[in-house]
Amino acid sequence: MLHTYAAALPDALNCSARDVILPVVPMFHVNAWGLPYIACMVGAKLVFPGPALDGKSLYELLEAEQVTLLAFRLSGKACLVMLRKPASDSRA
C-alpha cells in the first residue's frame, strides 16, 4: 500500500484520473510494478495488451487508447518500435 501511495505522488509517477496506463510487463513480476493498484487508487484507465505483444499491435493499442503512461522492459526492439513514428502530444 505504501508503494502505491508513493508511486502516485507528483514527484514519482504523478498518476491521476486523466492518465491511461498500459503495463506491458508480466503481472507475475511484482504485479506489473504495482501499476494496477496505482490506477485503481487514482481512478486512471488501465489497459492490458493481451497476447499481442508485437510492435505493430502495441503501437496500434497505444494510439487507439491514447496511452499516457507505458511501462515495459526496454529492449533494442522496443526502442526501434518507439523511434519509427514521432509521438503526437494530444494533451497540449
Q: Where do the domains of the chain lie?
A: 2-79
pLDDT for 11: 66
Q: Are 37 and 10 in contact (CB under 8 A)?
A: no
Q: Which fold has domain 2-79?
A: Rossmann fold (3.40.50)
What's the pTM?
0.71
Reading the chain (92 residues) residue by residue, the pLDDT tens digits are 666 767 667 667 788 899 999 988 877 766 677 888 889 989 999 999 988 888 788 889 999 999 998 887 766 566 666 666 555 555 54
pLDDT for 20: 95
Where helices occur in 1-92 by DSSP H, the ranges are 2-8, 30-33, 35-42, 55-65, 76-83
